[in-house]
Structure 1
Amino acid sequence: MVRIPEASLGSSDKKIPRVGFGTAEFPFGESAEVITESIVHAMKVGYRHFDTASVYKSEKFLGDGISEALRLGYINSRDQLFITSKLWCRDAHHDLVVPALKKTLM
């Protein structure tokens, strides 16, 4: 397994990996199987921080990869992972923020 440098999270005992695995593939969302397999392999070699965004259309595939990594024993629980996402600019309006964030969390 690869040793990825970590940073402290303020007052928490948790540490976040300084390097995250990006889930964007262009054109966005076209290779579900490739994205999922890449995420599973990344967990196998030690990645625990994943970067996504709704615009990448990879959030579902990230979830699929997490499920598979759990099944294969590469991770023991979702608590071992850090998932960072972004609110896309078209959703940055007062009436769109909460629905966009809820969609990301599904």
Structure 2
Amino acid sequence: MTSTEFPYTLTISLPLPTNRLASSALRAIEVDAELSPFVRREMTVTSSKPTETEEEKAILETTYRATTNRMLRVAVNGFMESLGVVLGVMEELDEDVLEAEGVEK
């Protein structure tokens, strides 16, 4: 994949509270492959710190590459919708969120 084939790029870095939540979001979203051959997506969980332990990796980083700006926009819109669903489920059902709000299980 060269930059001339996929010249339009966008990287989205989403910090989440914990590595577990970032990894869960990654696993939930990565199962849906990009349907268009004109779009490529790479996802990883990373950290903003140069010396990082696995637990410090709590940033979901997604890089999109596309052949046209329209294909990039369509792909990112779909990603944001999926991400909204995943984050909504985490907010409603995740045990750490419930504990932080003082709700007993």
Task: Give TM-score, length-normalised by structure 1.
Answer: 0.27
Bigger strand share: 2
Point out the structure with max Rg over C-alpha: 2
Task: Give TM-score, length-normalised by structure 2.
Answer: 0.27
